[in-house]
Amino acid sequence: MENNLLSIALIIIALPLTGAIIAGLFGKLIGRSATHTVTISLVGISFLLACYLFKLIVLDGQPAVDGIVYQWIQSGSFSLNIGLLVDRLSATLVFVVTFVSLMVHIYTIGYMADDPGYQRFFSYVSLFTFAMLTLVLANNFLLLFFGWEGVGLVSYLLIGFWFKREAAVFGSLKAFLVNRIGDIGFVLAIAAILMLFGQLDYAHVFNNVNSILDKTIHVFPGVTPPAITVICVLLFIGAMAKSAQVPLHVWLPESMEGPTPISALIHAATMVTAGIYMVARMSPLFEYSEVTLSLVIAIGATTCFFMGLLAVFHHDIKRVIAYSTLSQLGYMTVALGASAYDAAIFHLLTHAFFKALLFLAAGSVIIALHHEQDMRKMGGLASYMPITYLTFGIGALALAAIPPFAGFYSKDAIIEAVKLSSIPGAGYAYFCVVAGAFITPLYIFRAFFLTFHGEEHLDPEAKKHLQESPWVVLIPLIALAVPSIIAGGILIGPMLFSDPKLLGDSIFVLPQHDVLTKLAVDYQGATAMAVHASHTWTFWLAISGIVAAWMFNMRFTDFAEKLKQRFSWVYKIMVSKYGFDDFNQIVFVRGTRRIGSFFYKVSDLMMIDGIFVNGSGRLIVWFSQVSKRVQSGYLYQYALVMIAGLLFFLGWLLLGF
């Protein structure tokens, strides 16, 4: 059975890679229809196998499988292996990733129908899926890093897919550079793990974590923090970049320059959640570093609150949803810092459904309006696009945490878990996540009302052809709307309060950090939780956010304009995104480009080209010029040189004696 599970996992990974190769190398030859048929079929088979894997491991309780596919390097007792870990956590993530990827593949047929890079796009999306599945199923840090860099590379290609647009090129470069900063921390963490444990396999590291708890690492003169803290902080720096946490969040809004299908894939269940998954997977390490947990909860809370505020001030429908992703990733990170890892993964799952739904519904609107994204040029679309309207509304209610929609259960569980946490910084985090309960519905229903209600501000030419999107676009919306409604109520009990929990021993929590066990005392079922919501102030904050969005954008628009003028300094801060973009542009983007330019000029032009390549050529020319003068062809000159040489050697022999 163990070999069968490993084989299934390997096939799940290999199928999207096969689709990417076929679409990338032979797409022009086989045509558009065959390209999307092949790639969708292969990802669809991966999804079916992922369902089977989920049934065996999670529902039927088959034991986890940790096996080696092949040995890459063996040197004495040290080995590097390509191996897979199929347990409850990886099986759950594989199920979600393949489902969302399948929906995005189908949706792409309609969205990219007129794009000349049709086959290339399918190749990239399938390759992205392969890299994410590799990351999730890896059983060691080496393969994890391969998948980690894979999603980073392909996201660069996808964000800059429309490479003739300057903004797309800039966005892809920004994403690439910011993620490399996080990767420095990640690589250093892997190096420290190899130095201290001698191996990179998860099982070996987790089983021997107690052996390094009393060890320190010399970082600076006089600074020797505990080794476990250094490792966890460095790992979290990698997670901060990949999961877009302050201050390494600036790349994610810029990723909106890519086509909408990839915005959904990157922002829903794949790349941006890779950091969340990684920290949850590394819970046996993070649990022994309370300093790191405190850092995690503080960074997550800051991202949750302050990035949510920015969404209120944007008019681009995709960017509003992008800042929403930042805020929701903050919620997940807060849960990680509170040691509520199961709650973080629970919100990751529900968020995957409703965030992919929101992005694809926004894409449906963008298609209908001939790629218009400014909400000020929309309005009144509900009557033209009823299915898109309904599905976007479902996604908005789920995001706003209105019961019984999926987001309510996962977000409320995080808020209550943080309330019970004793980790330093939990009080600040609790304030941020509660404030987010008001801000989230405010920005998402602002987008909802501006897009689908109120006066029409449509371009006359676009209005002539305005109609509901084709079924190839609507089917993924409907498929994602269903779990956005029911997934939370179905999963909350098994995920957080059953014994054992759905994720089982994939997650490790020390008894003193186990907030979910405390929370389970008051849990009486999903229905009771939804009914009891009206007695909580987070529910009324959410309702207040919806009402405020309606009032300021539908009824009292003049008052909203007066507020903007009265507090113009606040508005300027928000529009400038707290200055993070400018800081990162100057320090990271321009800084790294200047460093690269310096090394190019000094190392490449001066050293390699100037000295080694051109210098060696000039040396030969100089030597040949000198040699040419010596070989004059005059007999008396040769005789003179011979006599001079003879005198030199005679003098040397005489002096030597």
Q: What is the dihedral of CA 564, 566, 571, 572, to 10 degrees?
A: 130
- Residues 184-203 pLDDT 10s: 999 999 999 998 988 888 98
Distances (CA, A) of 90 to 130, 239, 278, 505: 14, 17, 11, 12
pLDDT for position 367: 83
| Same domain (yes/no): 508, 379 | yes
8 Å CB contact between 388 and 468 = yes
Phi and psi at residue 509, to the nearest 5°:
-135, 130
Last residue of a domain, one of 516, 549, 570: 570
Q: Specify the higher pLDDT residue, 387 or 587.
A: 387
Mean pLDDT computed over 90-116: 87
| Same domain (yes/no): 558, 619 | no
H or E element in which residue 179 lies? helix 166-197
Distance in angstroms (rounded) separating the CA atoms of residues 52 and 50: 5
pTM given for the model: 0.86
Confidence of residue 294 (pLDDT cuts 50, 70, 90): very high
- Six-digit token pair at 597? 């330019």
**Cα 133 to the center of its chain, rounded Å:** 13
Residue 360 in domain? yes
- Residues 645-655 pLDDT 10s: 888 888 877 77
Collapsing DSSP states into helix, strand and coil, what is residue 351? Answer: helix
- Six-digit token pair at 573? 């801060």
Give how many domains the chain has, as a whole number: 3
| Same domain (yes/no): 532, 413 | yes
| Same domain (yes/no): 603, 565 | no
pLDDT for position 312: 85
8 Å CB contact between 105 and 40 = yes
- Residues 234-276 pLDDT 10s: 999 999 988 888 888 887 877 777 787 877 777 665 778 888 9
Last residue of a domain, one of 84, 116, 139: 139
Residue 118 in domain? yes
pLDDT for position 614: 77
Residue 635 in domain? yes
Residue 412 in domain? yes
Q: What is the dihedral of CA 443, 432, 574, 166, to 10 degrees?
A: -80
| Same domain (yes/no): 301, 386 | yes
pLDDT for position 47: 93
Residue 232 has pLDDT above 70, yes or no: yes
| Same domain (yes/no): 553, 636 | no
Collapsing DSSP states into helix, strand and coil, what is residue 66? Answer: strand
CB-based burial, 358-388: b 16+ in 10 Å, e otherwise: bbbbbbbbbbbbeebbebeebbebbebbebb
Residue 622 has pLDDT above 70, yes or no: yes
Residue 296 in domain? yes
pLDDT for position 134: 92
Last residue of a domain, one of 549, 570, 591: 570
- Residues 326-372 pLDDT 10s: 899 999 999 999 999 999 999 999 998 898 899 889 888 888 888 78
Mean pLDDT computed over 587-602: 76
| Same domain (yes/no): 611, 473 | no
pLDDT for position 558: 65
Residue 474 in domain? yes
| Same domain (yes/no): 402, 530 | yes
Residue 325 has pLDDT above 70, yes or no: yes
pLDDT for position 567: 64
| Same domain (yes/no): 492, 612 | no
Residue 408 in domain? yes
Residue 589 has pLDDT above 70, yes or no: no
Most confident of 251-265, 485-499, 610-624: 485-499
pLDDT for position 373: 84
Confidence of residue 174 (pLDDT cuts 50, 70, 90): confident
| Same domain (yes/no): 619, 543 | no
Distances (CA, A) of 644 to 639, 647, 649: 9, 5, 9
Contacts of 142 (CB under 8 A, 6+ apart): 72, 80, 190, 200
Average pLDDT, the chain: 85
| Same domain (yes/no): 547, 584 | no
pLDDT > 70 in the chain, percent: 93
Q: Which residue range is the domain that position 47 belongs to?
A: 1-139
Q: Specify the higher pLDDT residue, 641 or 434.
A: 434
Mean pLDDT computed over 401-406: 90
Mean pLDDT computed over 430-453: 91
Which of 79-88, 338-347, 406-415 is predicted least confidently? 79-88
CA proximity to 442, closest of 351, 315, 347, 550: 550
Residue 626 has pLDDT above 80, yes or no: no
Distance in angstroms (rounded) separating the CA atoms of residues 177 and 156: 10
| Same domain (yes/no): 526, 588 | no
H or E element in which residue 71 lies? strand 65-75
**Cα 346 to the center of its chain, rounded Å:** 17
Residue 511 in domain? yes
Distances (CA, A) of 172 to 24, 102, 178, 319, 558: 20, 24, 10, 15, 38
Distance in angstroms (rounded) separating the CA atoms of residues 93 and 84: 14
Q: Transcribe 181-233 into DSSP letters.
A: HHHHHHHHHHHHHHHHHS--BHHHHHHTGGGGTT-B---BTTB--BHHHHHHH
pLDDT for position 268: 62
Q: Transcribe 613-650 into DSSP letters.
A: IHHHHHHHHHHHHHHHHH----HHHHHHHHHHHHHHHH
- Residues 534-574 pLDDT 10s: 888 889 999 999 998 888 777 766 666 666 666 666 767 76
